[in-house]
Structure 1
C-alpha cells in the first residue's frame, strides 16, 4: 500500500505550546483535558505526572493548574484565582481572541452570534464572556430559524469550516442593519482542511488520525468524505482495519491538530505493512 501525506497536518502552534508547558510543569493539574487526544493525555500523565481535573471544587490551594488549550469559562477562571492556585494559562491565542471580542462587543450592545457547537468547551468558554446570553448556531438553517437583532457581532469556533462561516455572515449582512464579522477560524485549521480536501481528491482511501472527540478531526473527516467515500477516522494504529484497503492502491493520511507525530508514525507503519 502506497501512502501520501497531506501537505499540512498534525500539531498546531497552540497544541505544541500547551504540550511544552505541561512537560515543563511536572506533577500539575490541567483543568479539563489539555487537548482532545486521549493517547497524548495518557502519555503526559504517565511520563510527567500531569493529571486531569474537571471540578474546581476538587482543586486545592497551592496546586499548579494548567488551563487547557480550549480555554475555560470566566467564572471557573475566577474560582481558580480565588483559590490561590498557581495558574499557567495554556489557552490557545486563537481561542483567547474570540473571548476578547465577545466581551468587548457585548459591552457595546451587540447581540453576540457564535458559529459553533454549544457543547464544546471552547464555545462554552467564549459564551461566558458575553454580558447577555449569546446566540450559538451550528448551521445556516439554525440562524435562519433564530430571532436576531438589528445589531450583531459574529465570531466562530476556531475549527469550523470557512465556507459555512461565510454563509452565516452573508445571511446576517442581509438581515441586520449593522453586522460586525470577525474571522476567528484558526489559520492552521484552515490550512489542514484545505490540504485534506486536496488530498482526498487524489487517493483511493483516506485515513484521518486523531481523537474521536476532537472537533477539528471530525471536520477533516467530513471534508475527506466529500471527495473520498472510503475515508476513516482512527485514534491509533489499533483502529486500522485490513478490509479498508482491499483493491486500493493509494492511501492518503492527515491528522488533527491535537495528534502527535508518534501516533501518526504508528498508523503509517501499520498501513505500510498491509
Structure 2
C-alpha cells in the first residue's frame, strides 16, 4: 500500500505562533485550551509547566495568563487587563481581523452576519465586538426566514469552507440593498482543504489527524468523505484500526491546523509498517 501526505497539512501560522509564545512563558496559564489538541497541551504542561485554566477567577495575582489562539470575548479581555496579572495575547492575527471588522461595521450601522459555529470560542469572541449583536448561521438555509436591515456585513469563521461562504454571500447580495463581504477564512485553512480534496479523490482510504473538537479538522474530514467514503478522524496512533487498510492501495493522510508534526509522523510511521 502506498502512503501519501497531503501537500498542505498540519500546523498553521497562528498555532505555531501561539506554541512559541507559550514556550517562552514557562509556568504560565492559558485561559481555555491554547489550541484544540490535547496531546500538544499536555506537552506544554510537562515540558514548560504551562497549565490550563477554564476561568480567570482561578488565576492568582502576579501570574502570567496566555490568551488562546481563538481569542476571548472583548469584555473578558478588558477585565483581565485591569487585574494584577500579566496578559500575553496569543490570539491568532487571522482571528483578530474579523474582531476588528465586526467592531467597525457595527459602529457604522451594519447588521452583522457570521458564517460559523455559535458555540465555537472563536465566534463567541468575535460576536462580542458587535455593538448590537450578530446573527450566526451554519448554512444559507438559516437565512431564509430572516428579515434583514438595509445594510449587512458578512464575515466567516476562519476555518469554514469557501464554497459555502460564497453561497451565503450570493444569497445576501440578491436580497439586501448594501452588502459588505469580508473573506476572513484563513489562507492556511483554504490550502489544507484544497490539498485534502485533491488527495481524497485519488485515495482508497483517508486518515485525518487532529483533535475531535477542532473545527478545521472536522471540516477536513467532511471534505475527505465527499470523495473517499473510507475516511477516518483520529487524534493519535492508538485510535488506528489496522483492519481499515485491508485491500487498500493508496492511503492519504492529512492533519488539522492544531496537529503537531510529531503526531503526524507517528501515525505515518505506524501505517507504513502495516
TM range (shorter): over 0.9
Equivalent residue, structure 1, for 2:54:
54
CA RMSD across the alignment: 0.7
The Cα of 1:147 is off from its aligned counterpart by 2.9
The Cα of 1:79 is off from its aligned counterpart by 1.7
Give the SS at the match of 2:159. Answer: coil
Deviations 1:76-103 (A, max 9, x none): 1012112121011110000000000000
| 1:56–1:79 CA contact under 8 A, matched in 2 | no
Give the SS at the match of 2:144. Answer: helix
- For structure 1, the residue ranges without an aligned partner over 5 or more in a row are none
- What is the rounded CA distance, in whole Å, between the counterparts of 1:176 and 1:85 in structure 2? 46
Equivalent residue, structure 2, for 1:109:
109
The Cα of 1:54 is off from its aligned counterpart by 1.4
1:115-154 alignment, distance < 5 Å: 115-154=115-154
Alignment: residue pair count = 274
| 1:60–1:83 CA contact under 8 A, matched in 2 | no
Deviations 1:193-218 (A, max 9, x none): 00000000011100000000000000
The Cα of 1:253 is off from its aligned counterpart by 0.2
The Cα of 1:146 is off from its aligned counterpart by 2.5
| 1:114–1:137 CA contact under 8 A, matched in 2 | yes
Q: Which is further off, 164-173 or 142-151?
A: 142-151
Give the SS at the match of 1:145. Answer: coil
The Cα of 1:145 is off from its aligned counterpart by 2.7
- In the alignment, structure 1 residue 68 sits paired with structure 2 residue 68: yes
Q: Which is further off, 239-248 or 156-165?
A: 239-248
Equivalent residue, structure 1, for 2:89:
89
- What is the rounded CA distance, in whole Å, between the counterparts of 2:59 and 2:177 in structure 1? 47
Equivalent residue, structure 2, for 1:100:
100
Equivalent residue, structure 1, for 2:212:
212
Regions of 4+ moved over 3 Å: none
1:153-172 alignment, distance < 5 Å: 153-172=153-172
- For structure 2, the residue ranges without an aligned partner over 5 or more in a row are none
The Cα of 1:60 is off from its aligned counterpart by 2.2
TM-score w.r.t. the length of structure 1 is: 0.99
TM-score w.r.t. the length of structure 2 is: 0.99
1:225-240 alignment, distance < 5 Å: 225-240=225-240
